[in-house]
């Protein structure tokens, strides 16, 4: 019985390989490989939406201009907020790599607050549109606007949930598995950069053209 119990304990102590060190076949650790594969599927998703927008716009006899009907100043502010959040998440990862947990947590919090600020501003913009009865059924422009910005907003919200989790578990995971925790922040940062990049394309196409 003791031998079986010891074997069971050894079995439970086996760790998943390549969570910190790079895989020999890909040159990256599992988390980074996974996020790149996930982001590839996201590129296809948003690529299809952008292609649909282009086809609808080029085939429509009349198409609204975003700068005439949307709040460009608020969208511009949101653009700077997301760009700033890309900087703070890099600073969070860099400080964690250097062993400065306190500064890493501060920059993670700033990134989370930037995401919250983005969502608050977007909710204000949506509220203004709904108050004027500008719904997706109004026309194709508003349909694509709500679908694309709404889907992007869900991605921002998802990133915020992960950042909140990383903040709440920072002390525990950083003390026990510093490198693995730092890699989690890096992987989440890659996702966040993608979300920011999508907005960089959405902003001029929907608001300025």
* Structure letter (DSSP) for residue 22: P
Going by C-beta distance under 8 Å and a sequence separation of 6 or more, which residues neighbour residue 18? 29, 30
Half-sphere exposure for 135 (CA within 13 Å, toward CB)? 2
Cα gap 165→184, rounded to integer Å: 11
The per-residue pLDDT for range 15-42, each reduced to its tens digit, is: 666 566 666 666 677 778 889 999 999 9
Burial bucket for residue 1 (CB in 10 Å: 0-12, 13-18, 19+): exposed
Contact yes or no for 88/107 (Cβ under 8 A): yes
- In the prediction, which pLDDT does 130 show? 78
> What mean pLDDT comes out for the span 122-139?
78
Contact yes or no for 111/92 (Cβ under 8 A): yes
- Long-range Cβ contacts of 136-141 (<8 Å, 24+ apart): 139/64, 140/56, 140/60, 140/63, 141/63, 141/64, 141/66, 141/69
Dump strand ranges (E) for 69-196: none
Ordered DSSP codes for 57-102: HHH-SS---HHHHS-HHHHHHHHHHHHHHHHHHHHHHHHHHTT-HH
Q: What is the mean pLDDT of the chain?
A: 87
Cα gap 69→208, rounded to integer Å: 10
- In the prediction, which pLDDT does 140 show? 85
Is residue 8's pLDDT more than 50? no
pTM of the model: 0.86
The CATH number that domain 2-208 falls under is 1.20.120.80
> What mean pLDDT comes out for the span 102-109?
96
């Amino acid at each position: 019985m003791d031998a079986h119990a010891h074997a069971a304990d050894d079995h439970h102590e086996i760790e998943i390989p390549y969570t910190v060190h790079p895989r020999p076949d890909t040159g990256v650790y599992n988390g980074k490989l996974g996020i790149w594969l996930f982001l590839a599927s996201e590129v296809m998703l948003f690529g299809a939406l952008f292609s649909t927008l282009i086809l609808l716009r080029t085939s429509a006899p009349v198409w609204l201009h975003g700068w005439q009907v949307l709040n460009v100043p608020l969208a511009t502010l949101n653009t700077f907020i997301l760009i700033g959040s890309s900087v703070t998440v890099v600073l969070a990862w860099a400080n964690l790599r250097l062993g400065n947990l306190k500064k890493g947590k501060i920059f993670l919090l700033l990134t989370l607050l930037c995401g919250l600020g983005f969502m608050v501003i977007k909710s204000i913009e949506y509220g203004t549109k709904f108050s004027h009865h500008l719904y997706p059924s109004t026309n194709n422009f508003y349909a694509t606007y709500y679908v694309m910005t709404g889907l992007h907003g869900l991605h921002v919200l998802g990133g915020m949930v992960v950042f909140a989790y990383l903040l709440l578990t920072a002390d525990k995971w950083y003390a026990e598995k510093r490198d693995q925790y730092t890699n989690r922040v890096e992987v989440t940062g890659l996702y966040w950069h993608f979300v920011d990049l999508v907005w960089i394309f959405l902003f001029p196409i929907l608001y300025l053209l």
